[in-house]
Amino acid sequence: MAREWPHRAPVTIRKRLARTAAGTLILIAALISVGLTAPADSPFTIDVKPVFLRLDPATSATSSASALGLDIDIKIGGLHLHYAWSAVPMAALTTPASTKEPRELL
């Protein structure tokens, strides 16, 4: 009986997907750590700023005033991306809780 030597076990698709996912997670973690620690004038930066309360005239006019949130700025070369997230949007606090018109109880 002849055997093929060295015998290589077939690599399953599950192993390949797991290795690809692990490599992708390592790459994303590396990019985030490099972007967060880069100086502001470098070609790739990530800037995260906590926002306690934002009530400037521009956000008040567009009903996007916010409290307890994050401002995330990502700069890649000439591309500048901005994302703002708020745990408590002020527009939700100023809108009425019900869409029905108020009526008397009796």
In a domain, 85, yes or no: yes
In a domain, 41, yes or no: yes
In a domain, 58, yes or no: yes
In a domain, 103, yes or no: no
pLDDT less than 70: residues of the chain: 1-9, 54-66, 89-100, 102, 105-106
Q: Is 77 left (phi over 0), alpha (psi -120 to 50) or beta?
A: left
Nearest to 75 by CA among 34, 18, 29, 19: 34
Domain enclosing residue 25, as ranges? 13-94
In a domain, 67, yes or no: yes
Count: domains in the chain: 1
- Cα–Cα distance for residue pair 74/47, rounded to 1 Å: 6
Cα separations in angstroms, 94 against 19, 38, 56, 66, 91: 49, 39, 16, 12, 5
Cα separations in angstroms, 66 against 13, 16, 82, 83, 84: 46, 44, 15, 13, 9
pLDDT at position 79, please? 92
- For the stretch 41-52, pLDDT in tens is 899 999 988 888
In a domain, 32, yes or no: yes
What pTM was estimated for this model as a whole?
Answer: 0.57
In a domain, 68, yes or no: yes
In a domain, 27, yes or no: yes
